Structure 1
């Protein structure tokens, strides 16, 4: 499951320690790798606008956001009149997402499930996997995830995967081995990472540094980092007919120096 066999609970699980309240605080940073000084809500709006553009989604389209976390993209999509289902394994994050949707009277459906075993869903027009949320499992399980996404799409529907962590960015240092990001709520995110060549997994750790110098760790994580062509091949193996690779939300083709890898695969 992970490269830390001594850990009984996977890092990405709700009880694994990484995706908890400290993560919520750390995710609300005032900057990211390539975007400069932009608040989280601004980045979310830009990302969702890019999803709508690259997936050609009209108002009323059905979208599966998986994993949806605390609903950052699900809720923004619902604000734009899309019919959204969010799936995540983290009950705490799902509760927060439901409360946010209810506060805005947005009809988002949030479901508790492992993305390797999706619940039965009405066919959707798009599946989105946002913000570095692919590669948690073994390559065989990652393929199963893609096959599950393919099954829930209507014919001609699109799957979009978005990440800022690419092999060239890690190898060149554009994504640095250690960084410090100021947080909107005060304090600093300290992120440390390295790519293991033998497994092509990024191993890292996040911590929040408080104003008094106290560093509180969220624990370690590890994610399989797929090269762009490798990920495209994985999508084709999962049954997708057409895979296009973009380097930014404006639709420019992917290149190794691009800020993102955005794959759009058609069912």
Structure 2
């Protein structure tokens, strides 16, 4: 049986935690990077998948983009719609599995942020990349933020803890080398309320990621280790990839 942990993971206190974890200035910096890396102009059609609470979709819409956000979580999308209304921007929101993208050659650019790749088995992850490629016009650009093996393993910690305001976050991680997966159990606590969430993410090497992107229809890869354009190296926090749809 397939492990479909992601179906009910993104709800409850985890929604509040992710909203609190990323400051507004980081969102603005990431949006600026996307504008430059994807060559966005006012009116560019942009797909954000999965969009979570919509922080980047909303910021790009505020800068003139015609943005569509896709996410499986109704709680995330409820927050996204509310925030978009507060900021007075229009974003098209769609609730669905991130592999279920009904558009063909509709978008000028797409992105997958928040290290949101690897939620499925190998065929499922390949299906996601192929679905994104189908949504893009020829020459459309794609950005993704990956937790590559070269990022995770040199910095691996079995336990991580942090406090954000009134939220306490604890993570216990286990890497399965034979399967190439990271199993993480998260405990999020606010006062007397505590929730436990489990996630299993497929971890790929940079070479595997670039091969999968190529097989999905992408080319002309640029890799970075930071938003400032630093080269990706062993131990870089994330692998940032910008590429073009063939």
Question: Structures share a fold, TM > 0.5?
Answer: yes
Instruction: Give how far 1:134 is off.
Output: 0.8
Aligned length: 245
Asked whether the 8 Å contact 2:174–2:182 carries over to 1, the reply is yes
**Which residue of structure 2 lines up, in the alignment, with residue 239 of structure 1?**
217
**Which residue of structure 2 lines up, in the alignment, with residue 88 of structure 1?**
71
Alpha-carbon deviations, 1:155-185, whole Å to 9, x = none?
111111113x33233322x24221111213x
**Which residue of structure 2 lines up, in the alignment, with residue 35 of structure 1?**
none
RMSD: 1.9
Rounded to whole Å, the distance in 2 between the matches of 1:209 and 1:145 is 32
CA 1:169–1:240 in structure 2 vs 1: closer, same or farther (change >3 Å)?
closer
Instruction: Give how far 1:119 is off.
Output: 2.1
Rounded to whole Å, the distance in 2 between the matches of 1:128 and 1:222 is 22
Asked whether the 8 Å contact 2:105–2:134 carries over to 1, the reply is no
**Which residue of structure 2 lines up, in the alignment, with residue 7 of structure 1?**
none
Asked whether the 8 Å contact 1:170–1:195 carries over to 2, the reply is no
1:41 to 15, 24, 32: 24
Unmatched tracts of structure 1, length 5 or more: 5-9, 31-38
Asked whether the 8 Å contact 1:117–1:148 carries over to 2, the reply is yes
Displacement over 3 Å in runs of 4+: none
CA 1:218–1:52 in structure 2 vs 1: closer, same or farther (change >3 Å)?
farther
1:181 to 159, 162, 177: 162
Alpha-carbon deviations, 1:40-95, whole Å to 9, x = none?
21221121111112212122211100011121211111111111000111122212
**Which residue of structure 2 lines up, in the alignment, with residue 198 of structure 1?**
178
Rounded to whole Å, the distance in 2 between the matches of 1:177 and 1:241 is 36
Asked whether the 8 Å contact 2:10–2:75 carries over to 1, the reply is no
2:227 to 229, 246, 249: 249
- Does structure 1 residue 224 correspond to structure 2 residue 202? yes
Instruction: Give how far 1:234 is off.
Output: 0.3
Asked whether the 8 Å contact 2:103–2:134 carries over to 1, the reply is no
Could you state the TM-score of these two structures normalised by the residue count of structure 2?
Answer: 0.92
Could you state the TM-score of these two structures normalised by the residue count of structure 1?
Answer: 0.85
Rounded to whole Å, the distance in 2 between the matches of 1:170 and 1:93 is 26
Unmatched tracts of structure 2, length 5 or more: none
**Matches of residues 94-105 of structure 1 in structure 2 within 5 Å?**
94-105=77-88
Give the secondary-structure state (helix, strand or coil) at the position aligned to 1:241: strand
**Which residue of structure 1 lines up, in the alignment, with residue 6 of structure 2?**
12
- Does structure 1 residue 169 correspond to structure 2 residue 151? yes
Give the secondary-structure state (helix, strand or coil) at the position aligned to 1:85: strand
Rounded to whole Å, the distance in 2 between the matches of 1:98 and 1:122 is 25
Q: Which moved more, 1:106-115 or 1:42-51?
A: 42-51
Rounded to whole Å, the distance in 1 between the matches of 2:227 and 2:100 is 29
